[in-house]
Structure 1
Amino acid sequence: MSNMMSRVALAALATAFATEAMATEWNASLWGKRRAFTEHVEKLAELVAEKTNGEFTINVSYGGLSKNTENLDGISIGAFEMAQFCAGYHRDKNRAITVLELPFLGVENLDQEVAVSHAVYDHPAVAEEMAQWNAKMLMTSPMPQYNLVGTGEPRDELSEFEGMRVRATGGLGDAFAAVGAVPTSVTSSEAYQAMESGVVDTVAFAQHAHLSFGTINEADWWTANLNPGTVNCPVVVNIDAYEALSPEHREALDSSVPEAIDYYLANYGELLARWDTVLEEKGVNKVQISDETLAEFKSVADPIHAEWIETMSAQGMPAQELYDLVQKTLAEAKSGS
């Protein structure tokens, strides 16, 4: 009897160990608070848990694991398994994907942004560069074209950008600098304070960020159609952690990416649909930039594109190939092919 009980106890213990061994728990480092920009990560965690019956869980942290500008470093040392970052935070660490932050690329909507981002992420040069940080691209965080909020009189002519202190990173900062503005790359979390204290006159964000980080609450006006570009913010995973996943867990993760992106797009679409109501509620003037001013601003982009290709090529990157890939993918997305 005691032998039988011992065998039962040992079997139960072995089952418990096996169950524990099968369980996978990841930490994902984000920042700010839960918002439209993070909904695909939240959805991914939900889907992965569902598909694995709770055996694979992803804990989403908003700033508790790392500063947003240090998330790639955290991935490289395995401090956490998943993270979101923006290319403009450290352009020297992720040079290849900065092609997606060039101003006036011509991206018109979020579906096109997903298409060009994932095409670039799949390029071998991107995989090779990210591998230096022990990082594997998982998915993008598609954002609409950025627009400005500002205080005082609206700046709707290019001459009024001269000396304008603007929170803008990456290629957007380059574009504003080219027309005489003074870009600063304070993080998104610091943008409201920078605007409130007068460190910057204007802030360039996508709609969700103007809401989430409160800059819309300081604004007198918003440019409805400047659309100079956007930033690119991938979600990456630690390569060692990814390769250590069981085939079932890896399949659950990979197969959930398209579903998570679709959910993100639907959720963001709802925000865009009520944006005019938000502006009205907060008393923010909607400013339309003239076609002439837009054409003038866009004319500064070509030299910036050419300079990016030249600089990155000199550093051994297949810059022209990456740039052409963006243009080809964008053309295909627009034609529906």
Structure 2
Amino acid sequence: MTNTTDGTTEGTTNARAGKTTGGTNRRALLRGAGIAALAAPAFIGKGMAQGSVRWRVQSHWPKASSSFTASLGVLADEVSKRTDGAFKLELFGAGEFAKGPGIYDLVRKGVVAMGTISPSYIQDDAQAASFLYGIPGTLRESWEMQHIVKNLGIEALVNEDLTKQGVQILAEKVLPTELTVTKKIENVDDFRGLKLRSSGTMLDYLAKAGAAPQYIPGSELYQALSSGTVDGAHWGAAVGAKSMSLWEVCKYHVKPPLAQTTDAFILNMNELEKLDDAMRVALLDAIETRFYARSVEYVHAEAIALSQGIAENGLEVITLPQDVLDLLAKASIEILDTEAQKGDRAEQAADIYKGLMRDLGYA
């Protein structure tokens, strides 16, 4: 097993306990990093004496997206505050250097030091990436996804692959994925053939249930809906739909959630290692602590956004009929089993999911 300088542990994950064997747990290191950040103002001073550090950060969120400000913008402010202005994050909206799946390679090659992505973009780069994104139809509450990602080892399993490529991924928040559509869904025939913008395992999930999903970058989504290229989309859930003005076109918001999913930060490990100790600690600890705060904020924000959509946009909240839910439940089992076949780490991730679902009475 190899421990990288940023605290990422490469090793075998204990699926039920969320531990690593034969080395140090990365979360323990990050907890220690948080203590060090509180106790080491002298190190911050040294970083300032050496001159400012500026990282370019390419986001998959358009600047219109709420997460560009409330997630990425808040993190940038926090890192600057923790380093007394010595460490600045320069933020770029979707498409300024790259968009969607192209952001991973941009960070991996060091063109920018950091990015934000959906883990669904890196399914070919890490066996367990789909499990970090979230398997549709499995977990139902935000806390369940937070627990499985950080405490039970899903994030660590993904990093076992990514650190070999010089990249580290850290979950940014948990958020629900919900459809917003232009056409009311009252039965399975209404759902079949529905053209839906999607990504990652959700593409297969929706296709297996009879819809016609396709991937469209966020920067092109409003136009695709306006022109009728697609009949609906998921961009997060209510918060995402509101911030992207999707409810101007889509008058139906669909419950229940398709999945609990995550957004994520990706970091170039060479650039991370170049930081002095205090700056590295400030960044990693801010990301880790912000994950929990932002995930809880998002639950609150979802309720507010949906109420505003009903009042301001004439939005109608609809529930998928049982015959559609039955198709989705069958598709969920197929997706989980298919993803588990990608390799040893994917199989471990599937076991973690199944174990938690048994504990929760879902399986």
TM-score, normalising length from structure 1? 0.82
User: Which of structure 1's runs of 4+ aligned residues deviate more than 3 A?
Assistant: 17-20, 119-122, 290-293, 326-332
2:347 to 320, 332, 335: 320
SS of residue in 1 equivalent to 2:263: coil
Q: CA deviation at 1:122?
A: 4.1
- Cα root mean square deviation, aligned: 2.6
8 Å CA contact retained: 2:222, 2:246: yes
SS of residue in 2 equivalent to 1:303: helix
The residue that corresponds to 1:178 in the other structure is: 208
8 Å CA contact retained: 2:187, 2:324: yes
Corresponding position: 1:308 with 2:339:
yes
The residue that corresponds to 1:14 in the other structure is: none
The residue that corresponds to 1:280 in the other structure is: 311
**Structure 1 gap ranges (5+):** 1-16
Aligned mates of 2:154, 2:337 — CA distance in 1: 21
Aligned mates of 1:262, 1:34 — CA distance in 2: 23
Aligned mates of 1:309, 1:298 — CA distance in 2: 17
1:191-270 maps to which residues of 2 (within 5 A)?
191-205=221-235, 206-225=237-256, 227-270=257-300
Aligned AA (2:89): I
The residue that corresponds to 1:165 in the other structure is: 195
Corresponding position: 1:142 with 2:167:
no
Aligned mates of 2:292, 2:348 — CA distance in 1: 28
Answer 1 or 2: which has greater strand percent: 2
Instruction: Check 1:47–1:34 CA distance in 2 against 1; reply closer, same or farther (3 A cut).
Output: farther
Aligned mates of 1:65, 1:155 — CA distance in 2: 38
8 Å CA contact retained: 2:173, 2:295: no
Aligned mates of 2:119, 2:170 — CA distance in 1: 14
The residue that corresponds to 1:10 in the other structure is: none
SS of residue in 2 equivalent to 1:140: strand
Aligned AA (2:56): N
Q: CA deviation at 1:156?
A: 3.1
User: How many residues get paired?
Assistant: 310
Instruction: Name which of structure 1's ranges 280-289 and 85-94 shifts more when overlaid on structure 2.
Output: 85-94
Q: Alpha-carbon deviations, 1:226-251, whole Å to 9, x = none?
A: x2225443101110111111111112
Q: Alpha-carbon deviations, 1:25-48, whole Å to 9, x = none?
A: 212111301644342332222222
**Structure 2 gap ranges (5+):** 1-45
The residue that corresponds to 1:76 in the other structure is: 108
Q: CA deviation at 1:287?
A: 0.8
1:29-178 maps to which residues of 2 (within 5 A)?
29-30=58-59, 31-33=61-63, 35-38=65-68, 39-63=70-94, 64-100=96-132, 101-109=134-142, 111-118=143-150, 119-123=152-156, 125-144=157-176, 146-152=177-183, 154-178=184-208
Aligned mates of 2:296, 2:266 — CA distance in 1: 22
Aligned AA (2:86): E
Aligned mates of 2:123, 2:322 — CA distance in 1: 31
Aligned mates of 1:78, 1:20 — CA distance in 2: 25
Aligned mates of 1:102, 1:217 — CA distance in 2: 29
Instruction: Check 1:214–1:297 CA distance in 2 against 1; reply closer, same or farther (3 A cut).
Output: same
